[in-house]
């Protein structure tokens, strides 16, 4: 049994037709005017037992609705429980498009800044850990990477200290 066969005879399912100006079509994204909830129009037509006015059935993006697309046992569209609502077209506005975050290629300056920060953190770690191999490799480029004289001096003192300690242990 198709969805159309399940609908009562009075229901006019107008999917794919042009609506009066200002009324969304089935498939349109809408926002509930009072709550701001967003969803997709799944039904546009009359509802059995209601006034002869046209109603919209909307599947909400969030489970904050009142039904599963049915009213009083009559299924007008299908959606998960608590995702469906029905209201007159005047209760909806066009959904605002979400701004999608475009992926950006990092700029050369931001890459340079990240590299400089990484160099500095590794250099300072070498000082703290007394890693003279690391400091010996990094010291020639320390000025080029913008490290200040105090950090460079600290690295030189660590290297001197560790060399003295090595000589003391050997001698």
Provide the 3-class DSSP secondary structure of residue 136.
helix
Q: Is pLDDT above 50 for 112? A: yes
Under DSSP, the state recorded for 95 is P
The pLDDT of residue 101 is above 80:
no
What lies within 8 Å, CB to CB, of 12 at 6+ separation is 45, 46, 54
pLDDT at position 20 = 45
Which pLDDT tens digit goes with each residue over 18-36? 344 567 888 889 998 888 8
150-168 mean pLDDT:
91
Instruction: Provide CB contacts within 8 A for 108, sequence distance 6+.
Output: none
* Chain segment 33-91, per-residue pLDDT in tens: 888 899 999 999 999 888 778 899 999 999 999 999 999 999 999 999 999 999 988 88
Q: Where does the pLDDT of residue 100 fall: very low under 50, low under 70, confident under 90, or very high at 90 and above?
A: low
**Nearest of 145, 120, 114 to residue 134 by alpha carbon:** 120
Q: What is the pLDDT of residue 34?
A: 86
Is the CB of residue 123 less than 8 Å from the CB of residue 151? yes
**Which carries the bigger pLDDT value, residue 55 or residue 103?**
55
Can you read off the two tokens belonging to residue 41?
A: 């129009």
Higher pLDDT, 164 or 52: 164
Nearest to 76 by CA among 89, 88, 67: 67
Sign of dihedral through CA atoms 74, 75, 79, 85? negative
Number of H helices, E strands in the chain: 4, 7
pLDDT at 84: 96
- Note the pLDDT of residue 2: 45
Mean of the per-residue pLDDT values of the chain: 82
Which pLDDT value is given to residue 40?
Answer: 94
Percentage of the chain modeled with pLDDT above 70 = 82
Taking only the tens place, the pLDDT of each residue in 128-153 is 999 999 999 999 999 888 889 999 99
pLDDT greater than 50 at residue 13: no
């Amino acid at each position: 049994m198709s969805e159309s066969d399940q609908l009562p005879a009075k229901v006019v399912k107008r999917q794919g037709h042009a609506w009066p100006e200002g009324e969304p079509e089935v498939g349109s994204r809408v926002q509930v005017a009072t709550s701001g909830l967003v969803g997709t129009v799944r039904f546009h037509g009359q509802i059995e037992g209601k006034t002869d006015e046209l109603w919209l059935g909307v599947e909400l993006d969030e489970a904050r609705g009142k039904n599963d697309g049915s009213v009083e046992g009559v299924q007008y569209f299908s959606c998960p429980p608590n995702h469906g609502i029905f209201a007159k077209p005047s209760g909806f506005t066009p959904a605002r498009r979400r701004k999608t975050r475009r992926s950006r290629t990092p700029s050369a300056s931001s890459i340079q800044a990240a590299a400089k920060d990484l160099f500095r953190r590794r250099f300072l770690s070498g000082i703290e850990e007394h890693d003279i191999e690391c400091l010996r490799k990094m010291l020639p480029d320390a000025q080029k990477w913008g490290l200040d004289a105090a950090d460079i001096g600290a690295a030189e003192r660590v290297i001197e200290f560790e060399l003295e300690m090595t000589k003391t242990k050997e001698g």
